[in-house]
Structure 1
Amino acid sequence: MWRQLRALRGCGRRWQHRSAIQVTNEPILEFKPGSPERAALQKALADLRGKTEDIPCVIGGEEVWTPTVRYQLSPFNHAHKVAKYCYASKELINKAINAALAARKEWDLKPVQDRAQIFLKAADMLSGPRRAEVLAKTMVGQGKTVIQAEIDAAAELIDFFRFNAKYALELEQSQPLSVDISTNSMVYRGLEGFVAAVSPFNFTAIGGNLAGAPALMGNVVLWKPSDTALLSSYAVYKILLEAGLPPNVVQFVPSDGPEFGDTVTSSEHFCGLNFTGSVPTFKRLWKQVSENLDRYRNFPRLAGECGGKNFHVVHSSADVGSAVNGTLRSAFEFGGQKCSACSRLYAPASLWPHIKEKLLEEHGKIKVGDPTQDFGTFFSAVIDAKEIFGPILTVFVYPENRYKEVLELIDTTTPYGLTGAIFAQEKEVIEESRRLLRNAAGNFYINDKSTGAVVAQQPFGGSRISGTNDKPGGPHYILRWTSPQAVKETHVPLRDWRYAYMQ
């Protein structure tokens, strides 16, 4: 079956020579009735029905169980325990740190071509024989629909692995100038210590990238997956191991969040944090790092993405249908549980009656339910009932002659700065909006929804309290996980310490 799928997509990459590859974005499959990808996915979903997978901690290449047993429940069927797992204790987390450090030097010295090949092979496995499995586990465990799982756990994760490999190989080729008497080179070393990767529930791809990108660049990693994404995260982890990732490079460490944070930030070998999650958690970790600065051998690299209160602003010249449909997708796909989801809509009074009518009309057609049984489902149950991270859209209706004031309001309403979109047809309005909203969004969309960033097309991230804006999915992201060393080799002996002017 998977060979048929590969024939449909074509190869996502081709080798040019050992140090360069040409990569294209993974095509998104449609899962139409009768298609081979739909049949493969339905079989994978049937195989998971009613089953509970045992997911251990993996420390030093060994599966470890502790008495602190937990269960991951399917969000739309709480009777289904999709995974049984355990929390790593403080002692086990420290054991994972030691196991990672023991592997660090050998892994860092491995040629980047060899490291890249592992991630390219993992991408091929996700693209082919393991695609249906990872999609099914994302749907059952995180409540994603077919297309949302496909965009995330297949296309985006494959793109992360392939493009990061491409960027790493190109980075090594980027070398400084040399002159006749000396050769200059740049060595892109991994960081000295270990990186902690803390991943969220809402994107399988983010987990794979938070752990995978630092590992690709020669780092060793402790991966703490989200409790509500363990099934898919473990599947990705196993694929990386099967693709050739040495067991000690990434330790798989489900843990209590505060205990994990306390333990890793108190280690003298802590050298980096790759994080996606809430603002309070990221601030807490940042403060802990600050308090422990004196014990570290290096200043740790802190990379974090914390979400946003993202906006759609509609100008009176906008195409109303496009604005309405884009807003419905942005606000309600995956139950609004995307860090880029639209939660603020600004509409001009002159268009509001039409916009409201269309919003309510189309909103009434949305089907909510079990995405594994009915492929017509648009979104399913939200993960956490305690958080306002769901399908909620607020609307601000403004007098259209106060458009500029509204742009200033958008810029100052929240402390976030992740994504935003403007819907307008007038070029002058678009340019003015871009200027006044320059700092309001790290990813800015014109006549498109605020969600759906694609690796290598729209590298993702925001600043302000939305995060450190390191742009995963772009060529500069991997630089965060390197410690470059400049090397000068001189070929002509120095015969005199004195300079010519001193003669």
Structure 2
Amino acid sequence: MSAGFFQVPVPHNEPVKEYRPGSEERARLKAALTEASSKTVDIPMYIGGEEVRTETRIPLVAPHNRKQVLAHFHEGDQTHVEQAITAALNAREQWAGLPWEQRAGIFLKAAELLAGPYRYKVNAATMLGQSKNAYQAEIDSACEMIDFLRFNVQYMTEIYSQQPRSSAGYWNREEYRPLEGFVFALTPFNFTAIAGNLPSAPAMMGNTVIWKPATQQIYSAQVLMEVFRKAGLPDGVINLIYVDGPLAGDIIFRHPDFAGIHFTGSTGVFQQIWKTIGENIHQYKSYPRIVGETGGKDFVLVHESADPKEVATALVRGAFEYQGQKCSAASRAYIPSSLWEQIREYILADLREIKTGTVEDFSNFVNAVIDERAFDKISKYISEAKNDPRVEVIAGGTFDKTDGFFIQPTVLLARDPQYVTMCEEIFGPVLTVYIYHPDHFEETVQLVDQTSPYALTGSLFARDRYVIEEVSQKLVNAAGNYYINDKPTGAVVGQQPFGGARASGTNDKAGSSLNLLRWVSARVIKETFVPPVDFRYPFMETE
């Protein structure tokens, strides 16, 4: 067998296309939207090398057009979870034994497929299925997913190259084995790239995976699976199933070969998973890896030295891009009274120009929230705020689900810094503002740190460098991704590895080698060239 120390292509961030009027990419994306909207797709599960269909077909509806059925997916049951486990375990030995450069080649090819022939198909699927505008889909399902694949290959090689030192007469080596068993990837609706990274990152390191996406993301998940298969991913390495979450978990978390979970979702679900794993710990062959990112109540803290226009733009983009359905979305803002009127006018001026509607109309900045359950939850917060004397609705506050699940960007002004929308994750286009006196800045910093159990993202706006340093130290544990004079969203793979602590997750930083390290188990090998043949040591010699 030939061999070599291989260097992978140097990764670079995929350039973001702008979709300006008259551009080729705009025309191609609109054509992809038309093509996708012209048919109803039949989506099977993928278990081993089989496309699995069942008698239970569930419709997938566009959130912004309740009459548009995009696809039907085949819902599985307990037997399909068991089949997926068997397929993953059967594929494990051969996949783990494949040279790393062959695994790398598969995922690098997948990146190129997404950058080229599949770019507009996956973006159109994300726009229609998850109600994202063209730009939000481009930075997610195209660019971020491509970046995850390219950079993770680089991080894989960096991990493999980390080797121990060897003294004279010895050779120490370190192997990075895949985990013993299978990995469960439980993925969210809001980012196609996160949904694709959660199964592909463990698979890249030699693991086999069972992937259960959120129902609302199945439409674009199927496109990613098509790309993986087109890139040459062997059967059984990633098994895509559509089974009720608790049912899947009940089987997976009791299986002795369960080796780890890669999760993005709610804090409550993650904590229940952790508890279940703990209760079943005696059944497993090894201690499972538990990796999760679970949400946030992300802050923007404004100092009186900040620029009002910069703050307003960051709040509008940070709070209302993708309808606030980002774990990192700006959800609570603390603004000094000396700047509030200027910032308020800038925000209101922007909101007067923002349009809400379908994704096919590229002039719409805001689209629909993901489904009726989300709509009802978010609109309840807004309705209760309208009737509460502790809070004032200063923008938006209207919603309608007649044709799609539309909620207007809403800004609340809370007189109580502990008001519910300052504390609880809403996951929608709702920003709550608290106004503080500039003399109470120190107390406000404490409020930011102590109000929420989460610690995912946060921003500080200030031009005073002493303030920037002081606040950065005081809020050291308040956010895993901390921004200075920027909105708290938009982490880029290879530039801002993403993840938070406290109630926001395990902070294993997707988009970095830290995450990939969780999916390997190291074995150290010491080889002695000339072994001793006498048990005696020199100190035992007589004088």
TM superposition score normalised by structure 1: 0.95
Q: Deviations over 1:265-299 (max 9, x none)?
A: 01111110000001111111111111111100011
Which amino acid is 2:134 matched to? V
Asked if structure 1 preserves the Cα contact closer than 8 Å seen for 2:8 and 2:153, the reply is: no
1:357 is the counterpart of 2:345: yes
| Alignment RMSD | 1.2
Q: Deviations over 1:211-256 (max 9, x none)?
A: 0000000000000011001111110111011101101101011111
Distance in structure 1 (CA, Å) of the matches to 2:284 and 2:5: 40
Look up the SS of the partner of 2:147 in the other structure. helix
Paired residue for 1:482? 520
Q: Which runs of 4+ in 1 moved over 6 A?
A: none
Distance in structure 1 (CA, Å) of the matches to 2:485 and 2:42: 45
Paired residue for 1:244? 232
Structure 1 residue corresponding to 2:317, chosen from 329, 336, 339: 329
Which amino acid is 1:68 matched to? T
Look up the SS of the partner of 1:299 in the other structure. coil
Look up the SS of the partner of 1:101 in the other structure. helix
1:500 is the counterpart of 2:538: yes
Paired residue for 2:135? 147
Which of 320-329 and 46-55 deviates more?
A: 46-55
Distance in structure 2 (CA, Å) of the matches to 1:169 and 1:338: 31
Distance in structure 1 (CA, Å) of the matches to 2:528 and 2:21: 66
1:377 is the counterpart of 2:367: no
Q: For residues 286 and 149 of structure 1, do their structure 2 counterparts lie closer, same or farther at Cα, with a shift above 3 Å needed?
A: same
1:440 is the counterpart of 2:440: no
1:181 is the counterpart of 2:169: yes
Look up the SS of the partner of 1:221 in the other structure. strand
Paired residue for 2:30? 42
Look up the SS of the partner of 1:106 in the other structure. helix
Number of aligned residues:
487
Paired residue for 2:115? 127
* CA drift at 1:19: 3.1
Paired residue for 1:401? 439
Paired residue for 2:469? 431
Paired residue for 1:108? 96
Asked if structure 1 preserves the Cα contact closer than 8 Å seen for 2:91 and 2:235, the reply is: no
Paired residue for 2:208? 220
Structure 2 residue corresponding to 1:88, chosen from 76, 86, 91: 76
Look up the SS of the partner of 1:73 in the other structure. strand
* CA drift at 1:124: 0.4
Distance in structure 1 (CA, Å) of the matches to 2:222 and 2:152: 21
Paired residue for 1:234? 222
Asked if structure 2 preserves the Cα contact closer than 8 Å seen for 1:185 and 1:486, the reply is: yes
Look up the SS of the partner of 1:393 in the other structure. strand
Asked if structure 2 preserves the Cα contact closer than 8 Å seen for 1:28 and 1:155, the reply is: yes
Paired residue for 1:275? 263
Paired residue for 2:511? 473
Which amino acid is 2:427 matched to? F
Q: Deviations over 1:51-101 (max 9, x none)?
A: 211111111110112233211110001111112112221121011101110
Paired residue for 1:32? 20
Asked if structure 2 preserves the Cα contact closer than 8 Å seen for 1:86 and 1:255, the reply is: no
1:53 is the counterpart of 2:41: yes
Q: Deviations over 1:474-493 (max 9, x none)?
A: 12210010001111111113
* CA drift at 1:17: 7.1
Structure 2 residue corresponding to 1:309, chosen from 288, 297, 302: 297
Asked if structure 2 preserves the Cα contact closer than 8 Å seen for 1:164 and 1:478, the reply is: yes
Paired residue for 1:136? 124
Look up the SS of the partner of 1:155 in the other structure. helix
Paired residue for 2:254? 266
* CA drift at 1:180: 2.6
Distance in structure 1 (CA, Å) of the matches to 2:533 and 2:212: 56
Paired residue for 2:383? none
Distance in structure 1 (CA, Å) of the matches to 2:90 and 2:535: 43
Distance in structure 2 (CA, Å) of the matches to 1:100 and 1:408: 48
Q: Deviations over 1:330-355 (max 9, x none)?
A: 00000000000001011001111111
Distance in structure 2 (CA, Å) of the matches to 1:500 and 1:281: 60
* CA drift at 1:502: 2.1
Paired residue for 1:166? 154
Look up the SS of the partner of 1:350 in the other structure. helix
Asked if structure 2 preserves the Cα contact closer than 8 Å seen for 1:123 and 1:162, the reply is: yes
1:415 is the counterpart of 2:453: yes
Distance in structure 2 (CA, Å) of the matches to 1:493 and 1:445: 56
Paired residue for 2:406? none
Paired residue for 1:66? 54
Q: Deviations over 1:83-128 (max 9, x none)?
A: 2112221121011101110111111111111111111000000001
TM superposition score normalised by structure 2: 0.88
Which amino acid is 2:365 matched to? F
* CA drift at 1:35: 1.6
Asked if structure 2 preserves the Cα contact closer than 8 Å seen for 1:20 and 1:170, the reply is: no
Which amino acid is 2:375 matched to? A
Distance in structure 2 (CA, Å) of the matches to 1:190 and 1:457: 26
Distance in structure 1 (CA, Å) of the matches to 2:56 and 2:522: 41
Look up the SS of the partner of 1:141 in the other structure. helix
1:98 is the counterpart of 2:86: yes
Which amino acid is 1:131 matched to? R
Unaligned runs of 5+ in 2: 378-425
Distance in structure 2 (CA, Å) of the matches to 1:475 and 1:63: 33
Distance in structure 2 (CA, Å) of the matches to 1:501 and 1:19: 48
1:209 is the counterpart of 2:197: yes
Distance in structure 2 (CA, Å) of the matches to 1:92 and 1:371: 34
Q: Deviations over 1:175-217 (max 9, x none)?
A: 1112331111111110000000001000000011000000000
Distance in structure 2 (CA, Å) of the matches to 1:408 and 1:214: 38
